[in-house]
Structure 1
Amino acid sequence: MRRWVTLLAVVLAGSVLPVAETAGAAAGTATGADAAGAPGRAAGTDTAFTGFTGFTGFTGFTGFPATATSPAAPVSPVTALRRQFGEHVGLRISDLGRVYRAGRPMVTVWRRGRVEFDATGVYGTDTTGRTEMGRGVVKELENRLGQRLGSTRVICFPNEAYLSGPGYETWLPEGKTWLGLIGPANIKQTAALPQIVDIFEPSTLGTLLSHTAVRRKLRSGTYLQGTVTLRTLYRASPSLRDRLAGPPKGRNAAIPVGFRLWLDRSNLVRRLSTTWRQPLPGGPQKYTTTLVDTRYTGWGSSVTLAPPPPEDTADAGRVGADIPPPAVLPIG
């Protein structure tokens, strides 16, 4: 009788051992065999039962519950962002930006579109937007830019960009609907959205996180609020350095950019709101106030952007001289 009790104890011990190993792996503890890339237990374990294969009476035994494991903690927002980087993966964005002067809106910019990533970050954008201005101001700006303001579509890649819409048809030969720009020096402004804070840059997103003054947990994720100077943002953001002629100086460098950031439960950004004041010549009481609200939806979507058909595109280098970029919000 003792022999059968001993044998039963051996079988039961063997049946629960894999469960214990699974729990160890889930907790991040690697066995010797795991480290070597081979399945099974570590070399040298359970040598007393090596070769024991004859007893099969308890094959279906399920009386021991698996060890419970706690859910993994969410990764940081910067890590969550980096994990989105991959070919033909992206999301949708929408912007609403307004510039106020003396409490009245001077410029309103709407823009929406898609973003495609590659392994290092943003690979391309395809956005459509329009700009509206107050009475008299719009005519003055149109005369200065030499183009009508309205809805414009921009498809932008690392070394090329394509523009279509009001204001560009004057540069296009008959039968062409797209203007093509080649070379990074020519396309710095074309990808500029109303939002000056580019959360697709890990360094920029990390800067916002490090300047957070308010943090609240929500049912939908996390709410963050803080302020960062234009000088600090310039140092962190490659895209902002491209959009400005040089580093902000004097009182412009100290402009505080207030931000409100909403993260989802996976710590991906779903909304960003920013505001800042731009000093104007003539005294401290003269300035503009800019507010921009950006929504980010559909993280992880399949996105494959493509340039317009060559037969519809004209090379900007062959049809004219300096091509004005799409109107964007004033910064710095």
Structure 2
Amino acid sequence: MALLLTSPLTGAARAQTSGSPAQAISALKGEFAKRSSVLFSRNTRRGSPSDASLTVAHGKYRFAAKTGVYAGDVTEAFTVGDLDPVPSRVVNIGRDSYTQSGWESLPKGKEWNHWRDKDSFLWSQNLVDALNPKFLQLISAGAEKVPTKDRYDGVRTSRYDGTVEVGSIGSRQVGIYYSERKEFWDGGRVKWKLWLGPDNLPRRFQAEIVYEPYGAEQRADTVRLNVLYKGWGTPVHITAPPKKLVVEAE
């Protein structure tokens, strides 16, 4: 996926001096080094009104110095049209994932599936997410400051907007991911808004992610994200379920 950014290095330098996502990178890495944590809530809408889906999620993340998001506990409800929501929960610790879902069928007495190194559940550095330094670096050059008096998590925020084109976009259980190289399908674009607190840590992130059509019979697909972050540094505990309740996923 060839990244189609057009901003020169001077644009990146301008973003670095003005605050923007570039300063959020340093702030995030400071939280990673402290093995800090954050709470979040997220709405994800996908598709046209006739076939739209909505995923409502909330949870918590813990960080590690080198990996960023090291552990997570996320509860979701997935809805399509007028159907009843399907609940799920994913606990990730390192490369181990434990899942519960209304779609899963488990043996009697078991409540969790265990997955090891399952890419769809694991956090990665190519996610479209304000907690991802690689993504923040990607969008920094095109960031524009927008006047605002918005408050989130009890603090005044600074808002930055922009759009970036990428070579390809896809989705996993953990979120929407991008690649800077073109793969087997056409790429897309991410139109984003980011609100940073006075400590340069994210408090809100919005994105409109458009998958370009990859064939004559295809149409563009759109995903809209709205994420709120709060409680930076709040002590959280993320633990694996009791072994007696876990079965190895097939």
Output the TM-score relative to the length of structure 2.
0.75
For 1:107, the aligned partner's letter is: S
What residue is the counterpart of 1:180 in the other structure? 114
Partner in structure 2 of residue 161 of structure 1: 97
Check if 1:309 corresponds to 2:242.
yes
Q: Within 5 A, what are the aligned runs for 1:1-332?
A: 76-86=23-33, 89-101=36-48, 103-104=49-50, 106-120=52-66, 121-134=68-81, 150-168=86-104, 170=105, 172-182=106-116, 184=117, 187-191=118-122, 196-216=127-147, 218=149, 220-231=156-167, 247-249=181-183, 252-253=186-187, 255-280=188-213, 283=216, 286-316=219-249, 320=250
Contact 1:270 1:295 in 2 (8 A): yes
Map Cα deviations across residues 57-76 of structure 1 (whole Å, 9 max, x no partner): xxxxxxxxxxxxxxxx9892
Deviations 1:207-244 (Å, cap 9, x if unpaired)? 2222213443646121100011123989xxxx989x57
Q: Distance in 2 between matches of 1:76 and 1:218?
A: 20
* Structure 2 portions without partners, runs of 5+: 1-17, 151-155
**Does the 8 A contact of 1:230 with 1:252 survive in 2?**
no
Q: Show CA shifts across 1:113-172 (max 9, x none).
A: 00001122111110000111126xx7xxxxxxxxx971100001222100013122x1x2
**Is contact 2:206–2:227 with CA below 8 Å preserved after alignment?**
yes
Q: Is the 8 A contact 1:207 1:233 kept in 2?
A: no
Determine if contact 2:146/2:161 at 8 Å carries over to the other structure.
yes
User: Is the alpha carbon distance of 1:157 and 1:76 closer, same or farther for their aligned partners in structure 2, counting shifts above 3 Å?
Assistant: same
Change in CA separation of 1:315 and 1:293 when aligned onto 2, cut-off 3 Å: same
The residue identity in structure 2 corresponding to 1:126 is D
Question: Gapped runs of 5+ residues in structure 1?
Answer: 1-72, 139-147, 321-332
When the two chains are superposed, the root-mean-square deviation of aligned CA atoms in Å is: 3.4
Given the superposition, is the C-alpha separation of residues 199 and 124 from structure 1 closer, same or farther in structure 2, using an over 3 Å criterion?
same
Deviations 1:40-63 (A, max 9, x none): xxxxxxxxxxxxxxxxxxxxxxxx
Between the aligned partners of 1:119 and 1:196, the Cα distance in structure 2 is 18
Q: Residue 4 of structure 2 aligns with which residue?
A: none
> Given residue 154 of structure 1, which amino acid in structure 2 is its aligned partner?
V
| Structure 2 CA distance for partners of 1:188 and 1:78, relative to 1, 3 Å | same
Counterparts of 2:162 and 2:89, CA distance in 1 = 33
Q: Counterpart of 1:7?
A: none
1:76 is matched by which residue type in structure 2?
Answer: Q
**C-alpha distance in 2 between matches for 1:216 and 1:248:** 35
Deviation track 1:189-220 (CA, whole Å, cap 9, x = no partner) reads 12469x95122222221222222134436461
- Opposite residue 202 of structure 1, the aligned amino acid is P
Post-superposition shift, 1:281? Answer: 6.0
Higher strand share: 2
Larger Rg: 1
Q: Is the 8 A contact 1:160 1:181 kept in 2?
A: yes
Larger helix fraction of residues: 1
| Aligned sequence identity (%) | 22
